[in-house]
Amino acid sequence: MSTKIRIISYQEAISEALYQSMQNDKNVFVIGLGVADYKGIFGTTTDIYKKFGDKRVIEVPASENALTGICAGAALKGKKPIIVHARNDFMFLTLDQMFNIASKWKYTCAGKSKVPFVIRAVIGKGWGQGPTHSQSIQSIFMHFPGLYVFMPSNAYDAKAAIITSLKQDCPCVIFEHRRLYDAIGDVPNNMYTMDIGKARIVRKGKDLTVIATSIMVKEAIKAAKCLEKKGISIEIIDPRTLVPLDEETIIRSVKKTGRVIIADTGWVRCGVTAEIAAVISEKAIGYMKAPVKRVGLPECPAPVTSAYEDQYYPSYKDIFVQTCKMLGKKIDKDILCTKEVDDFIGPY
């Protein structure tokens, strides 16, 4: 099969991964609220519905807990379900099935019986979606053993996450940020996988390390472009998977720069940034030249109006300001307001 590289979008990469996986394995099916809708979960399920129909792309009523139990049973029988949640907030209704049954199954059965299935969950800022439809709940899933947690930040990893997850013997959750669906990147047209638990060094630098997840990787790249104008070089680490977490790559970078900013799409308290900061404090505290800084959501639910959203959600400007403060540099606000930086969507 050809391995030609093309520039396609995050959404197209997911669509292709689903199409190829279903064509390659008749046990794979996609199920969820909206998967057969004409919008097709931001276009990611449109092609597979046209190709495979409603026997393998299954529209369901809003009964998320029951749906998860059905898919766990299907996985036990050799099927490979892919559950899609157009908003990750609906996953709160599935937590009993996920945490008390699916994640623990192989442990309670001494590894003789497994429940492998995939969940796609859309996170983050929408268009005035409000406090119950704009959350990023990935840190909750990090807490329970028996699950893999993916956070693809680019089109290449979005495709790889789908294909790789289908090969695992445990439940896998893939968190996709709705603001990334239009981001473009280099994506091979063949089926390929990723190394689970292997971070990517997005950009090398010497002055400070930024560990960023999901869309915050794009924001970190924007910040790096601004900081270059001040002669500041930041290294950007994308963990790619939160469970397992590539602590080795993170610690190696921290030892090199001695300064760290951790940026995530969720709240900072008991969140992804807190866990990574704890790892750094346990394994690299002697190399730190300044305290760790964290960038995430403020301690309140998401607002609805766009004006408040602009204040609520973190961006490259927060990373820029924190970097300048940590390095004792002047905060040049004129550097931040450039169309080139604001319009950046990739590839990266």
Which are the catalytic amino acids? 133
Which residue in 240, 301, 294 sits closest to 263, CA to CA? Answer: 294
Decide: 43 and 14 in contact? Cβ < 8 Å: no
Q: Could you tell me where the beta strands, DSSP code E, fall in 151-301?
A: 172-177, 184-188, 200-203, 208-212, 234-238, 241-243, 260-267, 293-297
Say which amino acid occupies 293: K
| Rounded-to-integer distance, Cα 130 and Cα 115, Å | 34
Kindly list the distances between the CA atom of residue 116 and the CA atoms of 3, 74, 187, 212, 303, in Å, as whole numbers in the listed order: 28, 9, 26, 28, 36
Q: Which two tokens stand for residue 188?
A: 């091979």
Instruction: Report the C-alpha gap between 244 and 21 in whole angstroms.
Output: 23
Neighbours of 337 (CB within 10 A): 10
Residue 273: name the closest of 282, 283, 262 by CA: 262
Supply the DSSP string of 133-193, one letter for each residue. SS---HHHHHSSTT-EEE---SHHHHHHHHHHHTT-SS-EEEEEEGGGTT-EEEEESS---
Cα–Cα distance, 60 to 64 (Å, whole number) = 9
The two tokens of residue 111 are: 């590894």
DSSP per position, 28-67 = EEEEETTTTSTTHHHHTSHHHHHHHGGGTEEE--S-HHHH
